[in-house]
Each structure stands twice: as C-alpha cells, then as structure tokens.
A and B are shown apart, each in its own frame.
Chain A
Amino acid sequence: GAVVSQHPSRVICKSGTSVKIECRSLDFQATTMFWYRQFPKQSLMLMATSNEGSKATYEQGVEKDKFLINHASLTLSTLTVTSAHPEDSSFYICSARDRTTSGNTIYFGEGSWLTVV
C-alpha cells in the first residue's frame, strides 16, 4: 500500500531553537497533507492542513507563527516548530491523501517524537 514517511523519527532540541520535521509521500502525489500532534495517553489532534502551492489552513487555537508549514512539492510537506519550548514536546504525525483510491484514502507517517529540553 501507499507509504508516508516522516523524518526525523526522534529529535531533541534546546528551548528557544527551531526544529523542522519532514513528511513525504513515497509512491503517490499528495496535493494535501495534514499535521497532527498527540500527547501521551491522548488521541490525535488535527493541527493544520498543508496545501501544495498555497498557505496552510490551521485549526482553531493552533498558532500559525509557531508552527510553520511549507508544502514545497507534491510529495513533501514540512512542519517547523519555532522557538520551541518544553510544552511543545509531543508526538507529531503527518498524513497524506491518495486521490487515486476510492474514498481518497488517508495514510499516516510513522510519527516524530519531539523533546524540547
């Protein structure tokens, strides 16, 4: 089946620095990708919709200047956590929509653990 890959799988950064997470669709083109975050023992929370060639759409309560999203090509979206703080430590997950499947199946990446120290 379709594969979505994230990199890095784990990252530790110092408070105040920025960190970038990549999301790639490996065998299909994705004009739309999505970013989620998940805190321990909680469900996934949708953060934003990443649109190729245009601005991302953020869910209510998500700071767009804090979480910068760039969808540079049909197979790559990046999430940059700017000026990271310990409370940004979380599991970040991306997904991508495969338009070639019935129902436009959504596939998820493996997730990226961010720890801010």
Chain B
Amino acid sequence: DAKTTQPTSMDCAEGRAANLPCNHSTISGNEYVYWYRQIHSQGPQYIIHGLKNNETNEMASLIITEDRKSSTLILPHATLRDTAVYYCIVRPDRGSTLGRLYFGRGTQLTVWP
C-alpha cells in the first residue's frame, strides 16, 4: 500500500511556481522520499529524491520538513509540458522491499497558459 497522501489535482499558471505537497507521516528512518511524474501514455519519469536535506536538481526542488512527515516538490517555472500526474513515494534504501514501489493515485497537475 502507498504510504503517502497527495491532493488529487492542482492547477498552476504557466511560468509560476508549482508547489506539490505530500504527506508521509509514517515514514521510517531509512526511507527516502521519491518523486516521479507520468505524462499520459508514458512510463514514469524520475524527478528527484531525498532523505533529510532539501535537494535541488535541474528539474525541481524537494523540501522535506524537519520531522520528515511531509515534503513539497517545487517546479520553479512551470511550463505546459509539466502537465502530468506527480507521484510521491517513500521507500527504503535497503532490505527485502528495496526497489518495489507502490504507487498511490498521485496529483494531476495541470499547467494553464
């Protein structure tokens, strides 16, 4: 079962920042927070991941709260091509379940012109 809670849908104007929240209140100490997105009829695309510290790459920033019970994915300047379903997933970095990802319903982000 997915261990995360995300809003079903969000809208964002093109050029503005898109902030996608995720709750993972039962996250364990060795579990990472991963974000993927899926554009219609394609496989999920890796965006970013983090454990405790905030992370940034060329696609997005990931802000993880100090207690690690929630996080926010930030797309700094959303474009129409960022319209997709965004999945927040928690998973361990070791152990028998390593790599087995359980997807929730994710957040449908729609970027408007």
Contacts and interface: CB of A to CB of B under 8 A. Distances in A.
Contacts of B44: 44, 93, 95, 108
A105 B43 contact: no
Contact of B99 (A44, A45, A49): A49
Given A34-B99, A43-B103, A106 B34 contact: yes
A103 interface: yes
B49 A46 contact: no
Contacts of B102: 46
Contacts of B87: 43
A95 to B, nearest CB: 7
By size class, the interface of chain B is 20 to 34
A104 interface: yes
A44 B85 CA distance: 12
B100 A49 contact: yes
A93 B101 CA distance: 12
B41 A43 contact: no
Interface in B33-75: 34, 36, 38, 41-46, 49, 51
B77 interface: no
Most chain A beta-carbon neighbours within 10 Å: one of B41, B91, B98, B99? B99
Contacts of A113: 41
Contacts of A104: 93, 98-99
A110 B39 CA distance: 10
Contacts of A91: 41
Nearest to B45: A108
A77 interface: no
* For the complex of A and B, 8 pairs with smallest distance between CB atoms: A108-B43, A111-B43, A97-B99, A43-B103, A44-B103, A108-B44, A103-B32, A93-B43
Interface of A: 1, 4, 6, 32, 34, 43-46, 49, 91, 93, 95, 97, 103-111, 113
